[in-house]
Chains A and B, each alone.
Chain A
Amino acid sequence: MRKMPSVNSDLDNTRRFLKARLLTDRASFHGYEAERLQIYDLLKRTAEHGESNSALLLGPRGIGKTTLVTSVLVELLSKETFHRNSLIVYLNGLIHIDDRLALKSATAQMNLENAVDGKVFGSFAENLAFLLECLKAGDRKKSKSVIFLLEEFDLFCSHHNQTLLYNLFDVAQSAQAPICVLGLTARLDVIELLEKRVKSRFSHRQIFLLPPEDGFEERLELFGSLLKLPTEQEVSTFEATHPTISPEVLSNDELTLLRNLFNPRKYNFPSKWVTQWNRTIEKLLKSSEVQTVLQNMYEYDVLEGPFRMLLFELVNGLDDEHPSITIESIQQLGESYESDDKVKLLMGSSVLEICLVIAMKHHSEIYDRDPFNFEMILTRFGKWANSSSSMQGIERPVVLKAFEHLKQLEFIAPLTGGGLAKVQKEYQLHRLMLTYGQIHQAVQRMQFLPTEITQWEISSLV
């Protein structure tokens, strides 16, 4: 076995570093200064002055709502005055699917009297009564502030009577233990889901995180900053901006946001490698080909989350044969980003299946996308196959098998509703789930397809 040369281990390190930063760097958040400050102030005032508040953080999926909150918490929790005076309760609408579960989790996280080692005793009604009595017994000056983070807030709105939301907002609006309710959701009209008494108790603080209107320059900057390696100087400033959190804060089992945060100190690179790597990235940024690919991506999606995932794919391709990110690899990424998966899937099917799809296309064209069954398609296919040179003499069961394969690939889907399910499978009505353009593309791009089939695809006359 050959010993690994040092260049490769640097490359390995780089790949690991970039991947870790793309996935786990939840503590650093850039942009949206005003919004971040508002959340920061809100949480700080709750913990330090015992003020009760409620707010909603809204924004499309992938904009960085959770990252924003995590970064604020990282900054606040490193302070003694904050973490000694507050409890954080993390609830997620996808996990805590009803009030019963949410309440159990909240009781365990607040470590109330009826919870022992994370196990909560008593019925749902008792838990609710006990939690409310605890909060009622609390007082603004003496008891700890409780910060409720409700992720996927819109799902909490569908709980029975919205009991949990009513009670949380009610506590926030009355002289009880100081609490802050912070909801995170992607639905911009979430306030309309609240019942009117819950809506009245909500303080109507809505903080919107919206992407900037024309931010391609920022996208280029982001591309650079996500792929560049930090210099020694930058690592040392990281130390200052990301203070360590005391382990007692992390003992909360449910609050996983703050675990395994990205730490650049675990990686070290020779400074020569860093300058060399950064220079190639700079060069990439300057090239017009890369800019076109990035521009095309930007036209589709302006959000940072999906873009990070694309870069992850790019970094994943780094290995011994491809030791650096090149214009070609970026272009390849752009192509795969824009390609049509259904066309690819169609190109992988057999000639008989393609023939059936073409027959379906002709049927749909003639009858304006009316549904069809197997018999109709078989007749249409049979008419053509009899006159063709290569597709003669295919047995009916074979065609039926091909038809069912198409159904399983969801190129066609049965019509639902109204007693149609009892019909025999040859007579069940289906719809074509492809556009004509997709079929045309697939037929054109398929290799080794007999010419008569390509011809037949173009003209629907037999």
Chain B
Amino acid sequence: HAQVAAGTPKRNIQLSNIIEECSNGRRVSRLLELSPKKLEPLPVEEPKTPKRNSRAASTQPTSASKGTPKSANKMKLIRDGTIKPNIHSRDAPVQHDANELALARERLHVSATPSSLPCREKEYEEIYNFLEGKIFDGCGGCMYISGVPGTGKTATTTAVLRALKQLSEEEEIPKFEFVDINGMRLTEPRQAYVHIYRQLTGKTLAWEQAYNLLNKRFTTKAPRRITTVLLVDELDILCNKRQDVVYNLLNWPTMPTAQLVVVTIANTMDLPERLLMGKISSRLGLTRLTFQPYNFRQLQEIVMARLAGMSAFNSDAVQLVARKVAAVSGDARRALDICRRATELADDQAKKAHLSVTVSMMHVQQALTEMITSAKVKTIRSCSRMEQLFLQAVTAEVTRTGIEECNFLGVYSQFEALAAFSGVIVPNPGRAMAICARLAASRLLICECGRSDIYQKILLNISTDDVHFALQASKLL
């Protein structure tokens, strides 16, 4: 038997070894041990000098016995999936506030996804029908879902899958396996194979092995195979130059043996045409779904659904949040975060006044100004006098030359003139450059690197109107 193994090509041995390992569920390395390459490191050649020999003999066993085997074992157990990942548990479980505002805040947290998402019924229906049909028919297929961030793409899809999983447990529909990967959680596109394989078997392999095994699984016929649903989030990250990973993920469903349904999610609507190769976008097919940004009524409904049965929020306040957010992005996360901040503000007030406070227009207004407006004008106002003067010099130089980009020499001569005009001591170029660097550190200005010294180019990162508006009240004008 050993002779046969030695005679066969090496790759065959490894592959058969792996398959055997998977079928038994434990590592069988008998075949590999027989191959000559593995045997090589065992007979150690003796070093020539005796000094080295003694040192090597003394250090090796101690270092080996200390840490490495333990940690190597641990790593093996982690890769096998025996050690379950865990985080330290807390001393005492969380105590809850009975406060209504605290409860509202908890419900308004983005993570507290409701069981049925409001305003996404149509999309839910569409994804549900698609997946249910594919599972019933036992065939493969693809779907592409797009929409700007925070419009409920992933939440709706996982809700559909949760419902289907429950139905399959009740044996209303055939059983299926569910695997989800997220492009942003991978360090490189090829790690997708590793993640898929791990979710199917619980083991971590190198990506080549994982790919081979997955390919084998999807391309060979198996009599009692059940449908696999694969959810791919952030598809655009998986696209590298060769696009081999995306190709494979979308090619497997076309195999009649695979029974693989792939649901892909990304932000841009025209991703298949813009980024993917022709053969890949052809495989992706035309079953597509676009999630529109929420309008203000929908956002209002979402927030109100979370607050159902509570009186902590003024309904006008919710409407204000919804209108403001819908005007900017239609991002549900943003609306929920603003509401949560408003409850915090109300809570602070309640603590101060020892009263029960409901979240009103005022709190929402304050939260909106905190979270939407920028602090540019305030920053300019809080700059030192020389910094303000320097900013003015930059605007003066921009208006003089008519070009947005100006260089330090020009600005400095304006600066000298302005300083002389307002009666302060003219700072020397070195100091002026320090001022310039400070303004660039907080990105009011954009400057070239310091090496070009007095020839560095300066760009105003704020509008000249902002500077004028901010310095109107200043003593300098």
Residues of A within 8 A of B (CB): 37, 41, 48-52, 58, 60-61, 81, 84-85, 87, 99, 110-114, 116-117, 119, 121-122, 124-126, 128-130, 132-138, 140-146, 161, 163, 166-167, 170, 173-177, 186-189, 196-197, 199-201, 203-206, 208, 210-213, 296, 298-302, 338-343, 369, 410, 413, 431, 433-435, 437-438
Contacts and interface: CB of A to CB of B under 8 A. Distances in A.
Given A125-B187, A301-B384, A340-B430, A433 B454 contact: yes
A126 B371 contact: no
Contacts of A338: 425, 427-428, 431
A306 to B, nearest CB: 9
A396 B333 CA distance: 73
Contacts of B409: 369, 435
B297 interface: no
Contacts of A135: 87
A439 B293 CA distance: 62
Nearest to A47: B90
A161 B185 CA distance: 10
Interface in B158-212: 184-188, 191, 194-195, 198, 204
B226 interface: no
Given A128-B185, A142-B90, A119 B71 contact: yes
A121 B184 contact: no
A166 B150 contact: no
A278 to B, nearest CB: 29
A299 B389 CA distance: 10
B429 A113 contact: no
Contacts of A211: 382
B46 interface: no
Interface residues of B, number: 92
A138 B87 contact: yes
Interface string B56-89: 0000000000010011101100110001111111
A143 B74 contact: no
A197 B427 contact: no
Contacts of A113: 74, 78, 83, 85-86
Nearest to A177: B87
B149 A299 contact: no
The 7 A-B residue pairs whose C-beta atoms are closest, nearest first, are A200-B149, A340-B428, A133-B85, A84-B91, A138-B87, A210-B382, A134-B85
Interface of B: 67, 70-72, 74-75, 78-79, 83-97, 102, 105-106, 109-113, 148-150, 184-188, 191, 194-195, 198, 204, 234, 237, 267, 329, 331, 333-334, 337-338, 340-341, 344, 348, 370-372, 374-376, 378-379, 381-386, 409, 412, 424-425, 427-431, 435, 438, 441-444, 451-455, 461
A137 B87 contact: yes
Given A61-B438, A205-B370, A300-B427, A125 B87 contact: no
A197 B184 contact: yes
A208 B380 CA distance: 13
A110 B451 CA distance: 41
B383 to A, nearest CB: 7
A137 B374 CA distance: 37
A136 B62 CA distance: 38
A30 to B, nearest CB: 17
B391 to A, nearest CB: 14
A122 B75 contact: yes
Contacts of A60: 379, 438, 441-442
Contacts of A177: 87
Contacts of A431: 455
A213 B476 CA distance: 14
B67 A298 contact: no
